[in-house]
Structures are given as structure tokens and as C-alpha cells.
């Protein structure tokens, strides 16, 4: 039996045919293909500005950085997320405060969020885990009342919707990942979207060493500090070919998720975390909350099924904040129970049936 991985991407020679054009034009740097990608994303997500970047981590970093927050000012981040969310804020030099997660949705918990706001709080970074929307209406209401910025970590949520709007386009800025375990990839890459012209201008300058407009690399005017956060034409070209496939991939991801839901619905000891598919939430990965998670993980691994355990809660690490892990009640309740089932759009129906049968066998 061939190994069934948590994720498999689909990059192949078809993508290379398009790359040929990019190689032929002898301009691998950031250029026309990056602009084309940005324009396509703006149109698709109905957003005014898009900047293509080397990763979602750099997008999140830039989003926090251009807010010019002071060292003692705080950003609220969910306690269960990929380290990138916290690393981005940490590198941008702001104080991180973790917020507990909601045990039903695995996203940031609203009641704890309200409790964690104080006079130093300046921003919130909701993370749409696996493409599942945070309660953006409430978050935006709180943010407006308390004058907080909202940076959506939509790394896993490209094309997923909340109340008819695309995730990532609701807060002040939204960031997406184009790493290979996403619905489309550029190898590595990220996208930052915003409707705010001032933010867009600041980002455009900071991402290219503090320069304005087109650059020569030589005697340019630098109006601020900055860095090199350019995406290459080569990566953008791959993203553009990949983008053509997202609609068909979307359908498969939904079908996969519903198959799991249906196949495992009788189990008491395993719960599939819900997606509002009717309202166009898009499940990138199927996450479960289950009893005996580690045993299940090992059992499936022995049967060539590779799942992915959830991230360790960030409060377990001592370098971001001095908050005590024990103070996160919901996190503690679920931290050893959550994992992702194989979710790729490349997964074969017969392989998924095999996974479902093995899980049923494990629990019955």
C-alpha cells in the first residue's frame, strides 16, 4: 500500500510549459508576472490592493511592522496557531498577548479576547484555521469600538468566505500563504491584500528597501528603512498557472471534507470540526477533535496513513510571552486531541474510503 500523505501538491510539467515563457524573456526578477498575479488576485478577491511577497510570514511581518507600534503595545494572537503568526509579530517588535481558542471552532475565543484587551492593546490577528472563518463581525465590532487594527492571518483560507466576503479582505490587511500545502502554490510565496491606500503605499516602500517607485538598485532615493521582500517572476509565473486550477480543486476539497463527515458521523469519540460550507466556507484541511489521538495517529501511520498533529500551543514556548500555559483552559482541554486527516485535492476516493474504514475500525 502506497503511503497516503497529509497533503500532496500538484506541480508538474504542465506548469513548466508556462514557465518557459518566463525563462525566454530573460527577466527572472520581480516584474510583469508579479504584476499579473497581483491583478488577478485583486479581481478574484474583490479587493483594491494586493502585494505579492516571498511568504505569508513576511506578509504578516510587514503588516504588523507598518503599523509602527511601540514595544509595549500589544497584539492579540490565538494561542493555537502556526508559529509564523507569532514570529511575524515578534520580529516586528511588538508585544504578543495570547488569547485562548474556542474549543468548537479552534479559532480565537471571543470572550477571552475581550478580557485580554487593555490600554496597550493595538491590534488583533485572527487566524482562520484550516479555512474556517473567525467571527469577523464581532471582531470588527470590538476593533472599531476599541480602535484596534485587524490583520487577518488567512494563510489557510484563500477563497473561503464569511458572510459573502472573502476571508482576508475584511480586516485592515489580510495575508495568504502560497506554500505547497495550500490550494495553490508558488513554491514559497505570500500575498497581502488591503483596501487601505495608506497601508498599501507604506508596504510598497518598505518591501523594497524603503524606495519609491521603480528602482535601479543604484542611486535610488530611500525614504525609509525597509527590506527585500520581492517575489520573483519565476514564482509568480507558477502561481498564475496554479491559480487556473483553484476552482476545480475547491470542489474536490469540499467533496473530501463531506466524505469524512458522512463516513465518520456515527463515531462518538471523534468529532469533525464543522465548516459552514453552505455559506462558502472552504475546508482546506479536515481537522478532528478525538479521544486517544496519539494512538490513532500511530495506528494510522502503521497503516501508511500520515495525519498531522496540531501545533503545540504557543503558551508552551517561553520566548513569546510570559503568560502561563495553565491559564488557557480551552487550549488545555483540546491540545492533545486535535489533528488533521489527509486532506489533499490529490487524494483518491479509494484511499479516502480506506482511511475512513481504518478510523472506524480503530474506534469500534
Interface ranges with ligand PLP (CB under 6 A) = 55-57, 81-82, 84-85, 127, 153, 155-156, 177, 179, 190
- CA dist list (Å): 304 to 77, 154, 310, 318, 357: 35, 31, 19, 35, 13
Cell output for 263? 463516513
Output DSSP code: residue 339. Answer: E
Question: Which is closer to ligand PLP, CB of 6 or CB of 264?
Answer: 6
Put residue 280 in one of left, alpha, beta given phi > 0 → left and psi -120 to 50 → alpha: left
Smallest gap from residue 289 Cβ to ligand PLP (A): 18
Question: Which is closer to ligand PLP, CB of 82 or CB of 149?
Answer: 82
User: Do the beta carbons of residue 289 and residue 264 sit within 8 Å?
Assistant: no
Smallest gap from residue 154 Cβ to ligand PLP (A): 8
Question: Which is closer to ligand PLP, CB of 82 or CB of 184?
Answer: 82
Asked whether the CA dihedral 296, 302, 304, 306 is positive or negative, the reply is positive
Smallest gap from residue 81 Cβ to ligand PLP (A): 5
Element (H, E) at 287: strand 286-290
Question: Which is closer to ligand PLP, CB of 89 or CB of 300?
Answer: 89
Smallest gap from residue 302 Cβ to ligand PLP (A): 27
Question: Which is closer to ligand PLP, CB of 122 or CB of 182?
Answer: 182
DSSP characters over 132-164: PPP-HHHHHHHHHHHT-EEEEE-TT-TT-EETT
Q: Compute and round to an integer the Cα radius of gyration of the chain.
A: 21
Question: Which is closer to ligand PLP, CB of 126 or CB of 303?
Answer: 126
Smallest gap from residue 97 Cβ to ligand PLP (A): 18
φ and ψ of 95, to 5 deg: -85, 135
For the purposes of burial, counting CB atoms within 10 Å of the CB of 262, is it exposed (0-12), middle (13-18) or buried (19 or more)?
exposed
Smallest gap from residue 59 Cβ to ligand PLP (A): 8
Amino acid at each position: 500500500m502506497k503511503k497516503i500523505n497529509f497533503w500532496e501538491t500538484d506541480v508538474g510539467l504542465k506548469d513548466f510549459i508556462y514557465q518557459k515563457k518566463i525563462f525566454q524573456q530573460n527577466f527572472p526578477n520581480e516584474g510583469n508576472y508579479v504584476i499579473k498575479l497581483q491583478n488577478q488576485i485583486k479581481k478574484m478577491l474583490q479587493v483594491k490592493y494586493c502585494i505579492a511577497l516571498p511568504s505569508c510570514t513576511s506578509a504578516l511581518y510587514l503588516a504588523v511592522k507598518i503599523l509602527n507600534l511601540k514595544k509595549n503595545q500589544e497584539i492579540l494572537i490565538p494561542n493555537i496557531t502556526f508559529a509564523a503568526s507569532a514570529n511575524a509579530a515578534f520580529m516586528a517588535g511588538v508585544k504578543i498577548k495570547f488569547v485562548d481558542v474556542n474549543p468548537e471552532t479552534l479559532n480565537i475565543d471571543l470572550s477571552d479576547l475581550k478580557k485580554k484587551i487593555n490600554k496597550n492593546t493595538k491590534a488583533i490577528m485572527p487566524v482562520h484555521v484550516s479555512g474556517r472563518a473567525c467571527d469577523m463581525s464581532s471582531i470588527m465590532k470590538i476593533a472599531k469600538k476599541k480602535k484596534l487594527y485587524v490583520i487577518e492571518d488567512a494563510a489557510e483560507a484563500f477563497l473561503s468566505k464569511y458572510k459573502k466576503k472573502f476571508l482576508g479582505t475584511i480586516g485592515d490587511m489580510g495575508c495568504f500563504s502560497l506554500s505547497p500545502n495550500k490550494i495553490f502554490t508558488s513554491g514559497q510565496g505570500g500575498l497581502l491584500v488591503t483596501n487601505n491606500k495608506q497601508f498599501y503605499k507604506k508596504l510598497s516602500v518598505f518591501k523594497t528597501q524603503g524606495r519609491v517607485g521603480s528602482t535601479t538598485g543604484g542611486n535610488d532615493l530611500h525614504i525609509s528603512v525597509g527590506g527585500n521582500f520581492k517575489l520573483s517572476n519565476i514564482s509568480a509565473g507558477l502561481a498564475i498557472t496554479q491559480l487556473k486550477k483553484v476552482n476545480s480543486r475547491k470542489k474536490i476539497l469540499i467533496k473530501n471534507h463531506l466524505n469524512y463527515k458522512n463516513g465518520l458521523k456515527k463515531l462518538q469519540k471523534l468529532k469533525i470540526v464543522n465548516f459552514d460550507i453552505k455559506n462558502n466556507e472552504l475546508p482546506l484541511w479536515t481537522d478532528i477533535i478525538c479521544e486517544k489521538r496519539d494512538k490513532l495517529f500511530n495506528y494510522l501511520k502503521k497503516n501508511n496513513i500520515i495525519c498531522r498533529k496540531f501545533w503545540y500551543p504557543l503558551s508552551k514556548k517561553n520566548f513569546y510571552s510570559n503568560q502561563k500555559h495553565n491559564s488557557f483552559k480551552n487550549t488545555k482541554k483540546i491540545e492533545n486531541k486535535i489533528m488533521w486527516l489527509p486532506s489533499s485535492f490529490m487524494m483518491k476516493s479509494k484511499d479516502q474510503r480506506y482511511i475512513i474504514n481504518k478510523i472506524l475500525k480503530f474506534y469500534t
